[in-house]
Structure 1
Amino acid sequence: MSTFTTSDGVDLDVRDTGPTASGRTLVLVHGWSQSRATWDRVVPSLAEHHRVVSYDQRGHGLSAKPDHGARIARLATDLHELTGHLGLSSYDLVGHSMGASVGWSLVDNHGTGSLDSFVVLDQPSACVVLPWMTPEQGAEAGAILDFPTTEGFVGAVGAPDAREARHAFLASMLSDAVPADDLAHLFAENLQMPGGWGARLLLDHAMQDWRDVLPRIDVPVLVVGGEVSHVSPDSQRWTAAHVPGAQLRVFTAEEGGSHFPFFEGPEHFATALLAFLADTPGPRAGQGG
C-alpha cells in the first residue's frame, strides 16, 4: 500500500505488486462508484506474470474525497500523473466501465505514446443520445439514455436518500447468480463514494462521446463484453469494429459475463487477458517500468 498525491493535492490509495521478469506493467482502472478492491480476485493470477498497479480513483474507495475534480478529464490527469510518478514509460491499461472512459480521455489528451495496449472493459463509447447523433447512431454505439432519463437517473443516485437507488443500480450490473455476500461487498465499496460528488461525476461521464477517439488508437486493443451485462454486447462489437485491429471477447453467462467479469469469473478473465497480452509486442523499447 502506498499513497500518491496529485498536482491538486488529492491523495490516491495505490497498490503495486512490483516489477517482474516480463517487464510489463498492467494498470487497472476501476469504474464509477467502485474501487481497486474489485480487482482483488484477478490480481493474484495476473501478478504471477506481470507487475500490476491498481488504485482508488479520487472520490472512491480509500482515496481522498475532495469537493472538486468530479469529471473524466481530471481522472485522466490523475492517471497520467500517477504513471509518471511510478516511472512507467509504457504500460498496459485495463479500464473497466468508466475506467475505459478515463483511458479514452487520456488518449484524447496525451495520445497513445505511453500505452503498450488498452483493454476496454464493458463501456459504450457513448452513453446518451446527444444532439448531434441520430437515435440509430446512438443505439449502435451503446447509448440507451436520453436527456430526461439521464437527469432523473443522476438525480436519483445523488439524492440524500439514494441508498436504495444505488443498490438497485449496482445489482442491475451483476448476474442473477451473484451470491448475496458478494453483492454486499461491492455495495460497501460503492458507499465509500459521496453521493453528491458521484452524481456530478456520473453526469460528466454520461455526457461524453468518445466515438472520434476510437479510430485514433494505434496500439493493440482488446474490447470486452458480457452476455448478461446491462451493457449490450453489440455496443462492444461496434467499438471493436471502429478501433483499428481491435480484438473482441464476449464472456458467456457461464464464464461470469456480467458487467464485472473479472469479479464473477476471474479465472476466465485472467486467462483471456493474459492470452491477449502474450500476443502483443509488449513494452516499447524494453521499457515497461
Structure 2
Amino acid sequence: MSTFTTADGCRLDYHLAGSITSERTLVLLHGWSQSRAMFDRVIPMLARHYRVVSYDQRGHGESGRPPHGARIARLARDLDELLTHLQIEQADFAGHSMGASVLWSYLDLFGSAKVSSLVIIDQPSACTLLPWLDKASASEVGAIVDFSGAEAFCKGFMGPDAASVRHQFLASMLTRRIPAEDLAWLYQENLKLDGGFGSRLLLDHLMQDWRDVLPRIDVPTLVLAGEVSHVNPASQKWSAEHIPGARLHVFTAEEGGAHFPFFERPETFAVALRSFLDAQPAPRARARTVS
C-alpha cells in the first residue's frame, strides 16, 4: 500500500501489481461508494500480463476524506496528478460506474495523450432526465432518474435511514446469488464513504451529460454491460455505437452480468478484458486530444 498527496492536500491510497517492465500499464477506477479493494479478485489474473494500478478515489476506501472536492472534475484532476506522480506516460484505463465518468471527464479536460485504450464498465452517458433530453433520448442513453428522484436519492444517503438505503442500493446492483459474506464485505467498503461528501459527489455525478464526449474519443474502446444489471444494457449499446470503432461485450447472468462482473465472476471478466487489450497495438508516445 502506497500513498500520494494531491496538490489540494488529499492523500490517495494506491496499489501497484505486476512487473514494472510490463509492456502495458492498466489503471483501474472504481465507482461511487466503492473502493479499489473490489478489484482485488481480478487483479492477480491481470497482473500476470500487465502492470496494474488501482487506487481509492478521494473520500473512498483508505484515501483521505477532505471536506472539499466532491466533484467529478476534481476526481479527474486527481487521476492526472497520480499519473504524473507515478511517471505513467501511457496506459490503458478501465472505469467502473462513476469511474467511467471520471475517465470521460479526464478525456474532456486533458485529452488522450496518455490513453492507449479505454474500457467503460456499466455506466450510462447520462443518468438523469435533464431538461434537454426528451423521453426517447433519455431511454436510449439510460437516464432513468428525474430531478426530484435525484434529490431524494441523495438525501437518502444522509437521512436517518441511510444505512438501510445504502444496503438496499448495493444489493440492487448484484446478482441474486451473491453470497451473504460477499454482500457484507461490499457493504462495509461502501460505508467508508461519508454520507455528506458522498451525497454531494453523487449529485454532481448524476447531473453530468457525457454524450458530447463519446464521439470525440479517439482511442480503442471496449464497453462492458451486464445482462441483469440495473443499468439497462441497451444504454451501453448506445454508448458503443456513439464511440468511434468501439466494441460492446455483454456479460450474461451466469457470467456475473450485474453491476460488478469483476467481483462476482473475475475469471470471466479477466478473459474479456485481456481479449480486448491484447488485440491492441503496443503503447507508443502520442500527442492526441479530445477536440
TM-score range, shorter chain: over 0.9
Q: Which residue of 2 aligns with 1:177?
A: 177
Q: Which residue of 1 aligns with 2:201?
A: 201
User: Do the aligned partners of 2:240 and 2:248 also contact (CA within 8 Å) in 1?
Assistant: yes
SS at match of 1:7: coil
SS at match of 2:157: helix
The number of residues matched between the two structures is 286
How far residue 158 of structure 1 moved from its aligned partner, in angstroms, is: 2.5
How far residue 241 of structure 1 moved from its aligned partner, in angstroms, is: 0.2
**Does residue 283 of structure 1 match 2:283?**
yes
User: Do the aligned partners of 1:36 and 1:61 also contact (CA within 8 Å) in 2?
Assistant: yes
How far residue 153 of structure 1 moved from its aligned partner, in angstroms, is: 0.9
Q: Which residue of 2 aligns with 1:7?
A: 7
Q: Deviations over 1:37-94 (max 9, x none)?
A: 0000000000000000000000000001111000100000000100111011110000
**Does residue 61 of structure 1 match 2:58?**
no
Q: Deviations over 1:202-226 (max 9, x none)?
A: 0000000000000010000000000
User: Do the aligned partners of 2:90 and 2:285 also contact (CA within 8 Å) in 1?
Assistant: no
SS at match of 1:158: coil
Tell me which moved more, 136-145 or 157-166. 157-166
Which residue identity lines up with residue 126 of structure 2 in the other structure? Answer: A
Tell me which moved more, 273-282 or 31-40. 273-282
Q: Which residue of 1 aligns with 2:93?
A: 93
How far residue 21 of structure 1 moved from its aligned partner, in angstroms, is: 4.4
Q: Which residue of 2 aligns with 1:51?
A: 51
Q: Which residue of 1 aligns with 2:128?
A: 128
Runs of 4+ in 1 over 6 A off after TM superposition: none
Aligned 1:233-244 pairs, distance under 5 A: 233-244=233-244
User: Do the aligned partners of 1:126 and 1:208 also contact (CA within 8 Å) in 2?
Assistant: yes
Identity across matched positions, percent: 63
Q: Which residue of 2 aligns with 1:16?
A: 16
Work out the CA distance in 1 between the residues paired with 2:215 and 2:119. Answer: 15
TM (normalized to structure 2)?
0.96
Q: Which residue of 2 aligns with 1:219?
A: 219
Work out the CA distance in 2 between the residues paired with 1:198 and 1:42. Answer: 26
How far residue 280 of structure 1 moved from its aligned partner, in angstroms, is: 0.7
User: Do the aligned partners of 1:19 and 1:25 also contact (CA within 8 Å) in 2?
Assistant: no
Work out the CA distance in 2 between the residues paired with 1:229 and 1:130. Answer: 22
Q: Which residue of 1 aligns with 2:256?
A: 256
Work out the CA distance in 1 between the residues paired with 2:94 and 2:170. Answer: 21
How far residue 20 of structure 1 moved from its aligned partner, in angstroms, is: 4.5
Work out the CA distance in 2 between the residues paired with 1:247 and 1:212. Answer: 18
Q: Which residue of 2 aligns with 1:142?
A: 142
TM (normalized to structure 1)?
0.97
Q: Deviations over 1:166-202 (max 9, x none)?
A: 0000000000010000000100000000001100000
User: Do the aligned partners of 1:20 and 1:49 also contact (CA within 8 Å) in 2?
Assistant: no
Work out the CA distance in 2 between the residues paired with 1:77 and 1:41. Answer: 27
**Closer, same or farther: CA 285–112 of 1 in aligned 2, 3 Å:** closer
Tell me which moved more, 35-44 or 135-144. 135-144
User: Do the aligned partners of 1:160 and 1:195 also contact (CA within 8 Å) in 2?
Assistant: no
Q: Which residue of 2 aligns with 1:156?
A: 156
Work out the CA distance in 2 between the residues paired with 1:248 and 1:282. Answer: 21
User: Do the aligned partners of 2:125 and 2:239 also contact (CA within 8 Å) in 1?
Assistant: yes
Q: Which residue of 1 aligns with 2:289?
A: none
How far residue 160 of structure 1 moved from its aligned partner, in angstroms, is: 4.7
Work out the CA distance in 1 between the residues paired with 2:129 and 2:280. Answer: 35
SS at match of 1:79: helix
Work out the CA distance in 2 between the residues paired with 1:231 and 1:22. Answer: 34
How far residue 19 of structure 1 moved from its aligned partner, in angstroms, is: 3.4
User: Do the aligned partners of 1:34 and 1:61 also contact (CA within 8 Å) in 2?
Assistant: yes
User: Do the aligned partners of 2:13 and 2:62 also contact (CA within 8 Å) in 1?
Assistant: yes
User: Do the aligned partners of 2:2 and 2:15 also contact (CA within 8 Å) in 1?
Assistant: yes
SS at match of 1:62: coil
How far residue 234 of structure 1 moved from its aligned partner, in angstroms, is: 0.2
SS at match of 1:131: coil
The CA RMSD measured in Å over matched residues stands at 1.1
